[in-house]
Structure 1
Amino acid sequence: MADGPQGWPEVSSILAALGRAAFVWDVASDVMTWTEGAASIFRDIEPASLATGAGLARLIEPSGSIRADILLGTAPDRRPGEGVAYRIEYGVRASASAPMLWIEESGCWFAGADGKAVRVEGIVRLENERRARDEQLVRLSRNDALTGELNRTHLTAALAAALEEAARYRSSFAFLLFGIDHLARINDAFGFDVADEVIGEVARRIRARMRGGDVLGRFSGNKFGLILMNCTSDDMHVAAERLLAGIRDEIVPTTSGPVSVTASIGAVLAPRYARTADEAINRAQEVLEAAKSRRSGSFAVWRPDVARDAQRRTNIRVTDEIVTALNERRILTAFEPVVDARTREPAFYECLVRMRQQDGQFLLAPDVVPVAEKLGLIRLVDHRVLELVIAELAEAPGVRLSINISPETTMDADWWAAIESLMGAHPGVAERLIVEITETVAIQDIDGVREFVTRLKSFGSQIAIDDFGAGYTSFRNLRRLGVDIVKVDGAFVQNIAGSPDDRAFVQTLIDLARRLDIKTVAEWVQDEQSAVMLRDWGCDYIQGRLIGLASPARPWSGSEAIPAA
C-alpha cells in the first residue's frame, strides 16, 4: 500500500483494532492509498489490485459499476474541498472460485472547481457475518424452516406468477397438492419429532423427482404444493403416479425406526380450470379431500361438475337465507309426535327445525341443518331452537319436548350459558326436556359426550341417542354414557315387515336396551304391521308416518297433559 497522509500510522492501528481500513482515492490519477489494515479485510487479494480504483472495480461482482455510482453526480453548489457523504455495499472475490467478501464502504467525495469528484476518502469494513444473518432472515421469511422449501406465502406468489406467465404465453401448467396420509397417527405413535422427520423425507423425495423449473413449497403441516410448469393433462398424470410411487415404495427411516408412508394428491390444470391462485388452491384442496376419503395414496383431478356447482350455489343461497331468517325470527319448530307403542297415547313431541322463506314456503331440517353445520351456523340455529322449545315448555306445563343437538353445539359454551339461564328463569322446564344427540357423535368422543350427558342430567333433563344402530355403538358405551332413551335408526325400522335381517337387528337392539333399563323409540314406522311387531318386541315408543309427521300446529292445545315418564 502507498504511504498515506501524515498521521496515518496512528489512525491505521486504531482502525485495524476496530476491523476497519481507510483509504484515499485520487480520482485523476486513479491511485488508492490504504492503511495497512486493508490486508486483513481484503483477504487473499493481491495488494496491487487495490492500488487503483479500476483494479478494485474489477474485483466487484456482478460488475464494477457500483463504485462508479458515487461519482456520477456533480455538486456545483459545493465549495471546493467540501465533501459529499456516501455509503455503499458490494461483494468482491479474489478469483471465480474464491468465497465472496462483503464490504461496507462509507466516506465522502470532494468536488473540484467544476463540481465533479477529484478525491474520495473512505473507510471499509468486512460485513460477511451481518450479511449472512440478513440472508438467513431472508431465507426464513421465504422458506419453510423444516424442509427448506418455499413457505405458503411464497408458494402462493409463485403460483400467481405461473398463472400470469401461462396467460401471457398461452401455455398450461398443473398445480398438485400433496397430503401425507394419517400423519396424526405417526404423531400419536412416535411423537412430533418423528413426524417432522417424515415430513422432511417426503419433501426430499418430491424434490428428487421434480424437473428443473418446477416449484415446490410446503403448504401446511402435512401438505405440499407442487407447480409443474409447461405441463399437459397427460404429463400431470404421469408425474403424479411417479411422485406417489416415490413416496410409497420405500420405507422412511426415522430415529424411532422405519415408518411406512403414503400420500394423496389433488390436482388442477391451470389456467384452464383455475384463473387465480386462490381458485387453484381451493380446487386442488377439494379434490385432495375427495382422494383421501376414497383411498389413501390416491390421485384425483379437478373437473367441472354441474351438479356440484349447482349445490354450491344452493348452499350460498341457503346460507344467506339462514342468516336473514335468524335475524328476522323466521326460524321455527314443527312438532312430530312420539307415542306409546301400546296405547298410542302421545309420550312427547320431537321438535324439528323449519325455516320460513320470504315467499312463505318452508325449508325442512334436511335442507337447513347440513348447510348450517358445514358453514358454522348450526350453533346459532340450535341456540334459537332452544329458546323456542323452552318457551313452549314454559307455556304448556304438561308437555314434554325433545330437541336435536348438532355435534358442534355439545361443546359450545354459549349454548350452555343459554340453557342454564333459561332453565333458571323457568323452573320445572328442565325435567320435561329431552336432548337428542346422534350416535356418531357419541362414539367419536365417548368421554366428551359423557360429560355433556352428566351436565344435562344434573338439570333434570333426559338424554336420547338418535339414529341408534347406524354407528354400531356398543351397549357397554350406552351404560357408560347413562342415556335414558335410544331411538332406533329408521333405516332399519322402515322395512321390518319385509326384511328378516332388519327384523332380527331391530328386535335384538330392543331386547338389549330393555335389559339395560333404557327406553326405546322406533323411528320411521310406516305401517300397522310394523307397529304391532315393535309393540310385541317390547319397544316403548314409535314415531313416523303411521303416527303423524311433523307439523307447526301445537297438537297438545286443548288436550290432556302428557304424563311424565
Structure 2
Amino acid sequence: MTTVVPPLSTILASLGHAAFTWDVGSDQMVWSDHVASVFPDIPLNVLGRGAAFANLIEPVRSIRTDALAHSPLALGGEGTPYRIEYAVRTSTSAPPQWIEETGSWFAGADGKPARVQGIVRVNNERHARDEQLVKLSQNDPLTGELNRTHLIASLAETLEEAARFRTSCAFMLIGIDHLARINDAFGFDVADAVISEVGRRVRARLRGGDVLGRFSGNKFGLVLKNCTIDETNIAAERFLAAIRDEVVPTKSGPVSVTASIGAVIVPRHARSAEEAINRAQETLDTSKRRRAGSFSLWRPNVERDAQRRVNIRVTDEIVTALNERRIVTAFEPVVDTRLRRASFYECLVRMEQDDGRVLLAPDIVPVAERLGLIRLVDHRVLELVVAELVASPGVRLSLNISPATTMDPDWWASIESLMRAHPGVAERLIVEITETVAIQDVDDVRGFVARLKNFGSRIAIDDFGAGYTSFRNLRKLGVDIVKIDGAFVQNLAHSADDRAFVQTLIDLARRLEIKTVAEWVQDEQSASILRDWGCDYIQGRLIGLASSERPWSPAMAEAVPAAG
C-alpha cells in the first residue's frame, strides 16, 4: 500500500499556517497555496504586496520592517531569524485576527534585508489567554473593576495630566456602610453580592473616561476626570442615591444598603496619589462619623493642620521621654476614712520635660491614647510601680491602665514575668480600670479581672458613676474596689442630687461587699458625710495631692494596714 503524502501547503493550511517569501526590494510577497484559508477576508492582491498587507496590521504597521531592521545580521550567509506577533483587522467591525510570524531574512550585497521567508499562523487562542491573564492581574476578581494597584496607577497618571494641562479632577472613595453587619447577618456570599451590585450601580453612572476600581474590601475608588467642585457634589449625590434608593436582591432576600463618600479635588488639594488617597480616606471617615450615607469633600483646615503638627511634636516628645526615662510616677495617698492613715497610694504618670516643667496625667494620657502610644506608657508605668513595690516591701500601690492595655498580650507577658521574678509583689498591687472599659465587653473584662486576681492582685473600677455600669455587671466582674467618680464628690456638701447618688452607690457597694473610694474630696464636711455613710477610703485635695516624693519609709510601710 502506497502512502500519499499531501502537499506541504495543505498540511500548513490544516494547521492554520501559511508560508511566504517576500522580496523586500520589489515588495512582492508570494504565499503558499490555501493562504485564503488563513486570511479568508483579505484579497490576494493585498496579500501580494508587503506595504498593502502592513496597512491591515495593528497596533504598529511597521512591526515587520522594524523586526528586520533591529535583528542582528547573521554571519556566513545564513538567514537571520526573527519572531513577531501582531493583529490583522480586515474591517472596523470585524474582530482582529492575531498572528504569530516566524521567519528568517537574508541580506543583500549592502548587508540590508533583501529577501524574507517565513510562516504565519493564527494565534487567537493564545492571545485570548494572554489577555485574560493581563485582565486578572489588573482587575478585581469579584467586581471586574480595576484592582487597587492599577487604580492608584491611573490616579497618578490623571494627576500628572491634570497638572500639565491645568485641569481639575476629583478622587472619591465610596465606602459601603455596615458591611460587617451584612456578613454577620447573611454570610460572606451575600456581602460579596452586595459589593458587586454596588460596583455595578456606580459603573452605570460614570461618564466616559472616568475610572472605577475596588480600593479595599468595602471601598471603591473613583477617578473623575475634568470634574469641578460642583460636578463632584452632583456626582456624589447621584452615586449615593443609586446605592440607597433600591434594595439589593440576593439569594437570601433583599438587602438595604447605604454608602458614604469622601472626596478630594486634585491636583488643587492633593499633589500626589498618596496624598489624594489619604485625604479622601479622611473625609470618608468624617462622613461615616457624621451620618452613614453622607458625603464629605476635603477642604483645607488651619486648626486641623496645626493640631497634626502638635501631634507630631508630642509624639516625638513622648517617645524621647520614654527612651530617656523621663516618664515617672507621682504618688497620691488613699486613706482610711476613719483612721485617716494611708492604705495605699495611687501612682499617677508624669513626664519630665527638658526645661524642668512636669506634664501631668491629663496632659499625657489622652494624647498618648489618641496617637497610639499609650501601651508604651502603660508598660513603663508597670515597670516603675513594680520596682517601687520591690523596693518598699510594705507599701501598697495602684496603677491605672488604658482600655487598650486590658487586651494587650505584651502587657500580660510583662506582668507575668515581673510577678514571677518578684514573689509577694502581686498581693500589694491594685490595678484600676475605668468604668467605660468595664461596660464595653463584660465577658472580656471579667477574664482580665480573673487573671489578675489569680496573681493575688486586686481590681478597682475607676471613675465609677460616669458610665452608669449596672450593679449586676459589677458583681459579675468580681472587682474588689469601686472608686466613685470625683465629679459626684467634689460638691457633695452643697448638692442634694450628688449626695443622693453617692449614698446610693456606697450602700449598694457595701451590700455587694465591695470597698469604696471617694475621689476629689475637697473639705472636712464631705469627708465626714462619706465616713458616716460607710465609705471606706477617700482621696483628694483634703488628704493631699500627688507628689513625686515617697511619703513612706520602710518602718512606716510595715505598719500600713491592708486595703481590704
Normalising to structure 1: TM-score of the pair?
0.90
**What does 1:447-466 correspond to in 2, within 5 Å?**
447-466=443-462
Find the counterpart in structure 2 of residue 85 from structure 1: 81
1:454-479 deviation digits (Å, cap 9, x = unpaired): 21111101112223333333322223
Which of 339, 345, 352 is residue 341 of structure 2 equivalent to? 345
Which of 455, 466, 473 is residue 469 of structure 2 equivalent to? 473
Query: Once the 2 structures are TM-superposed, how far is the Cα of residue 39 of structure 1 from its aligned partner?
Result: 5.3
CA contact (8 A) 1:262 1:297 kept: yes
For 2:449 and 2:501, locate their aligned partners in 1 and report how far apart those are by CA, in whole Å: 26
- Does structure 1 residue 276 correspond to structure 2 residue 275? no
Find the counterpart in structure 2 of residue 32 from structure 1: 30
- Does structure 1 residue 416 correspond to structure 2 residue 440? no
Query: Once the 2 structures are TM-superposed, how far is the Cα of residue 438 of structure 1 from its aligned partner?
Result: 2.2
Percent of matched pairs sharing the same residue: 75
Change (3 A) 1:42 1:533: farther
- Does structure 1 residue 510 correspond to structure 2 residue 492? no
CA contact (8 A) 1:83 1:108 kept: yes
**What does 1:81-120 correspond to in 2, within 5 Å?**
81-120=77-116
Query: Once the 2 structures are TM-superposed, how far is the Cα of residue 334 of structure 1 from its aligned partner?
Result: 0.9
Find the counterpart in structure 2 of residue 196 from structure 1: 192
Query: Once the 2 structures are TM-superposed, how far is the Cα of residue 391 of structure 1 from its aligned partner?
Result: 0.9
1:5-33 deviation digits (Å, cap 9, x = unpaired): xx995655665676544333333361322
1:136-176 deviation digits (Å, cap 9, x = unpaired): 23223322222222222222233333333333333323322
For 1:100 and 1:53, locate their aligned partners in 2 and report how far apart those are by CA, in whole Å: 19
Find the counterpart in structure 2 of residue 383 from structure 1: 379
For 1:254 and 1:108, locate their aligned partners in 2 and report how far apart those are by CA, in whole Å: 59
Aligned partner of residue 150 in structure 1, secondary structure: coil
Find the counterpart in structure 2 of residue 291 from structure 1: 287
**What does 1:157-196 correspond to in 2, within 5 Å?**
157-196=153-192
Find the counterpart in structure 2 of residue 143 from structure 1: 139
For 2:71 and 2:482, locate their aligned partners in 1 and report how far apart those are by CA, in whole Å: 92
For 1:467 and 1:42, locate their aligned partners in 2 and report how far apart those are by CA, in whole Å: 85
Query: Once the 2 structures are TM-superposed, how far is the Cα of residue 189 of structure 1 from its aligned partner?
Result: 0.8
- Does structure 1 residue 53 correspond to structure 2 residue 50? yes
For 1:8 and 1:504, locate their aligned partners in 2 and report how far apart those are by CA, in whole Å: 111
Query: Once the 2 structures are TM-superposed, how far is the Cα of residue 259 of structure 1 from its aligned partner?
Result: 1.2
533-542 vs 193-202, which deviates more? 533-542
Query: Once the 2 structures are TM-superposed, how far is the Cα of residue 49 of structure 1 from its aligned partner?
Result: 4.8
For 1:112 and 1:450, locate their aligned partners in 2 and report how far apart those are by CA, in whole Å: 91
Aligned partner of residue 238 in structure 2, secondary structure: helix
Query: Once the 2 structures are TM-superposed, how far is the Cα of residue 108 of structure 1 from its aligned partner?
Result: 0.5
Q: Which amino acid aligns with 1:224?
A: F
For 1:105 and 1:532, locate their aligned partners in 2 and report how far apart those are by CA, in whole Å: 102
Find the counterpart in structure 2 of residue 4 from structure 1: none
Q: Which amino acid aligns with 2:388?
A: E
Find the counterpart in structure 2 of residue 562 from structure 1: 560
- Does structure 1 residue 405 correspond to structure 2 residue 401? yes
1:484-523 deviation digits (Å, cap 9, x = unpaired): 2222333343344455544444333333322222222233
Find the counterpart in structure 2 of residue 121 from structure 1: 117
Which of 254, 257, 265 is residue 261 of structure 2 equivalent to? 265
Q: How many residues end up aligned between the 2 structures?
A: 557
Which of 239, 246, 252 is residue 243 of structure 1 equivalent to? 239
114-123 vs 351-360, which deviates more? 114-123
Aligned partner of residue 253 in structure 1, secondary structure: strand
Aligned partner of residue 544 in structure 1, secondary structure: coil
- The RMSD of aligned alpha carbons is 2.7
1:279-327 deviation digits (Å, cap 9, x = unpaired): 2222222222222122211222333333322222221112112221122
Normalising to structure 2: TM-score of the pair?
0.90
Change (3 A) 1:497 1:278: farther
- Does structure 1 residue 152 correspond to structure 2 residue 148? yes
For 1:500 and 1:272, locate their aligned partners in 2 and report how far apart those are by CA, in whole Å: 58
- Does structure 1 residue 302 correspond to structure 2 residue 272? no
CA contact (8 A) 2:27 2:51 kept: no
- Does structure 1 residue 255 correspond to structure 2 residue 251? yes
Find the counterpart in structure 2 of residue 3 from structure 1: none
CA contact (8 A) 1:77 1:115 kept: no
Find the counterpart in structure 1 of residue 213 from structure 2: 217
Find the counterpart in structure 1 of residue 427 from structure 2: 431
CA contact (8 A) 2:18 2:31 kept: no
Aligned partner of residue 458 in structure 1, secondary structure: helix
CA contact (8 A) 2:27 2:50 kept: no
Q: Which amino acid aligns with 1:57?
A: A
Structure 1 alignment gaps of length 5 or more: 1-6
Change (3 A) 1:301 1:73: closer
For 1:419 and 1:76, locate their aligned partners in 2 and report how far apart those are by CA, in whole Å: 76
**What does 1:65-80 correspond to in 2, within 5 Å?**
65-72=62-69, 78=75
For 1:277 and 1:500, locate their aligned partners in 2 and report how far apart those are by CA, in whole Å: 60
Change (3 A) 1:549 1:140: farther
1:108-141 deviation digits (Å, cap 9, x = unpaired): 0112223232321222333323222222232233
CA contact (8 A) 1:78 1:111 kept: no
Find the counterpart in structure 2 of residue 488 from structure 1: 484
- Does structure 1 residue 208 correspond to structure 2 residue 237? no
CA contact (8 A) 2:73 2:80 kept: no
CA contact (8 A) 1:334 1:553 kept: yes
Change (3 A) 1:261 1:119: same
Find the counterpart in structure 2 of residue 23 from structure 1: 20
Q: Which amino acid aligns with 2:273?
A: A
Change (3 A) 1:372 1:41: farther
329-338 vs 343-352, which deviates more? 343-352
Query: Once the 2 structures are TM-superposed, how far is the Cα of residue 66 of structure 1 from its aligned partner?
Result: 1.8
CA contact (8 A) 1:49 1:55 kept: yes
Q: Which amino acid aligns with 1:354?
A: R
Query: Once the 2 structures are TM-superposed, how far is the Cα of residue 65 of structure 1 from its aligned partner?
Result: 2.1
Change (3 A) 1:74 1:351: closer
Change (3 A) 1:238 1:491: farther
1:66-120 deviation digits (Å, cap 9, x = unpaired): 22323446978855x5211111110113432222221111110112223232321
- Does structure 1 residue 446 correspond to structure 2 residue 469? no
For 1:130 and 1:89, locate their aligned partners in 2 and report how far apart those are by CA, in whole Å: 11
For 1:499 and 1:241, locate their aligned partners in 2 and report how far apart those are by CA, in whole Å: 51
CA contact (8 A) 2:349 2:381 kept: yes
- Does structure 1 residue 64 correspond to structure 2 residue 61? yes
Find the counterpart in structure 2 of residue 332 from structure 1: 328
526-535 vs 118-127, which deviates more? 526-535
Structure 2 alignment gaps of length 5 or more: none
Q: Which amino acid aligns with 1:329?
A: R
